[in-house]
Structure 1
């Protein structure tokens, strides 16, 4: 996945007499530095022009107006962000689970690709060694990650990733 691309969808709400439509646009690929609001303008204009004019049943209140305001709010705040979902599509469930369950501090200084690499390295280590301790696993990972120029993770970070991997495997049983 290209880290310089954002994936967004935009919403529209059209209500004309008895006809009502509330839905999403196609997925737009937006390069970093480009506006996330501009692709949603046409959907917002459709909503402004046709989002308010449906007939309401008394018990539904102002639902069509509420939908229209929600659409405009979402579109003018850059649409619905699908970047994370699209970036996770290429990874196994284990990698996604470990990445999504990291402590916030670690989550902010790593990415899913690095977690995938660490899990692959750890699997390699587990297959090659018989006497495995957490310390020896961390030494192995640190050595391999340095070769890949991944040097921003401390031993405690690696220990957390190893523990989260074990939690996933225990949870999966």
Structure 2
């Protein structure tokens, strides 16, 4: 699993940031090729406490705006869903990441 934004941070720093409002998020995007639409998720991003999360997902939002609409019927549907998710700051997956990390440490 690739997590962007935790470089040079240890587990204590990450947990401290989460307690202050930090979170792990993913962004969604889609692109269409004629009649085929692909919906994907970004790598995981760590958003520190007080940091905006919409800006980090901007490249996925732009990709969807430019290339997502063209597949019928799913292009517009997936594009609208992805744009809503990204403009809300991405999908918060903090609990899932913490569960995964604690499971790896227990082994």
Q: Return the TM-score normalized by structure 1.
A: 0.46
Q: How many angstroms apart in 2 are the aligned matches of 1:19 and 1:39?
A: 27
Contact 2:68 2:76 (C-alpha < 8 Å) held by counterparts: yes
Tell me the secondary structure at the aligned position of residue 71 of structure 1: helix
Question: Where has structure 1 moved over 4 Å in runs of 4 or more?
Answer: none
Unaligned segments of structure 1, at least 5 residues: 57-61, 92-173
Tell me the secondary structure at the aligned position of residue 80 of structure 2: helix
Tell me the secondary structure at the aligned position of residue 24 of structure 2: strand
Does residue 18 of structure 1 match 2:29?
no
> Counting helix residues as a fraction of each chain, which structure ranks higher?
1
TM-fit CA distance, 1:10: 0.3
Query: How big is the alpha-carbon RMSD for the aligned residues of Structure 1 and Structure 2?
Result: 1.8
Unaligned segments of structure 2, at least 5 residues: 1-10
Answer 1 or 2: higher relative contact order, Cα 8 Å, separation at least 6.
2
Superposition map of 1:1-173 within 5 A: 1=11, 2-3=14-15, 4=17, 5-54=22-71, 56=72, 62-89=73-100, 90=102
Tell me the secondary structure at the aligned position of residue 43 of structure 2: coil
TM-fit CA distance, 1:84: 1.1
Q: Return the TM-score normalized by structure 2.
A: 0.71
**Higher alpha-carbon Rg:** 1
TM-fit CA distance, 1:12: 0.5
Q: How many angstroms apart in 2 are the aligned matches of 1:34 and 1:67?
A: 27
Instruction: Give the count of matched residue pairs.
Output: 86
> Counting strand residues as a fraction of each chain, which structure ranks higher?
2
